Chains A and B, each alone.
Chain A
């Protein structure tokens, strides 16, 4: 796998961890059988990032606004690991536990040893749960849609 693909894969699992509920993450950690040791390297600490957008979704970049982000970096060692792993997280909001669990799982996912296992047991279920929540929200919104016979619409 090329490094661009590898990065894309990491972005994908980091997104799933960031969008999950903290309760789901802590449950997944509780349920994880062979836990590595976790050492705090940085954080959890909160800060601000400048969120940027593009004009018309494709044009010049502009500063949209500041958003609170919480981040953590951890070292994982021992347990099931052959080598130490370095896990990171950046999560929108200010929940330190969310950053913590996300960094721990990111560390495990970064190792060849545990990647598939964590994907199966943690990432896919979290992703599925997120999709269900999104679908429910969408259905909720759709139910409020009103069809005016005098108003032609594309969708």
Chain B
């Protein structure tokens, strides 16, 4: 009798070692990120994870996603059996091929869809919008930005990873849609930062002193 009948194609790595505590800590960092846009908050994820995900992004997905979330992953990640097997086993998330159906979109700086391709909610239900999770580990460039809005004491300067050419135009249009709109969560190797739809961005002309 063949073992193939019984064996999973790949056995996933373990998730959080203490799921309740670990996901709580990651969530508090994400909540801080949404509460204080433009600031980075560090997160710790499991060490042994599929390489395509990386520890921090894995931690975010394990924390936020489950059977009630429809998630669109960018093609490289979506085709990675190890990453998808891991996520499906630990979260049970609903895989999504159409951007319009997604509650969450996970993309890299290269694969990020245009903001106007994403769901922005309705005036009656502005919360039914897509949240964009940007994997910024391999950013090729960055812009000095100045941000204002709820959560920011006056203004804040931060580095926004470079994505697609019209991003800042699209972000301004997104901001105008309030209360509808898309929210952005940026994840790098060790931290999260968020730009909720209420944040206004302006690119700085001059380089900020280090």
Interface window among B8-16, B127-135, B153-161, B194-202: B8-16
How many chain B residues sit at the interface, stated as a range, is: 10 to 19
A37 to B6, CA, bound (A): 19
A interface residues, tally (CB under 8 Å) = 20
A85 to B12, CA, bound (A): 11
A111 to B6, CA, bound (A): 8
A41 to B7, CA, bound (A): 15
Asked if B124 CB lies within 8 Å of chain A CBs, one says no
**Are A42 and B11 neighbours in the complex by a CB distance under 8 Å?**
no
Given contacts A40-B14, A42-B14, contact A112 B7 (CB under 8 A): no
Asked if B1 CB lies within 8 Å of chain A CBs, one says yes
Which of B1, B11, B15, B19 is the one whose CB lies under 8 Å from A86? Answer: B11
Q: In terms of DSSP, what is the predominant structure of the interface of chain B?
A: loop
Given contacts A42-B90, A45-B19, contact A83 B14 (CB under 8 A): no
**Are A86 and B90 neighbours in the complex by a CB distance under 8 Å?**
no
Given contacts A42-B89, A86-B8, contact A111 B3 (CB under 8 A): yes
Q: Which residues of A contact B14 (CB under 8 A)?
A: 39-42
Closest beta carbon of chain A to B30's beta carbon, Å: 22
Q: Which residues of B contact A7 (CB under 8 A)?
A: 5
Asked if A10 CB lies within 8 Å of chain B CBs, one says yes
Q: Which residues of B contact A6 (CB under 8 A)?
A: 1, 5-6
Return 28 A-B CB contacts under 8 Å, by A number: A1-B1, A1-B5, A6-B1, A6-B5, A6-B6, A7-B5, A10-B6, A39-B14, A40-B14, A41-B11, A41-B13, A41-B14, A41-B15, A41-B89, A42-B14, A42-B90, A45-B19, A73-B89, A83-B3, A83-B7, A86-B7, A86-B11, A110-B3, A110-B7, A111-B3, A112-B1, A112-B3, A115-B1
Q: Across the A-B interface, give the 5 residue pairs with the lowest CB-CB distance, nearest first.
A: A110-B6, A6-B5, A86-B11, A1-B1, A41-B14
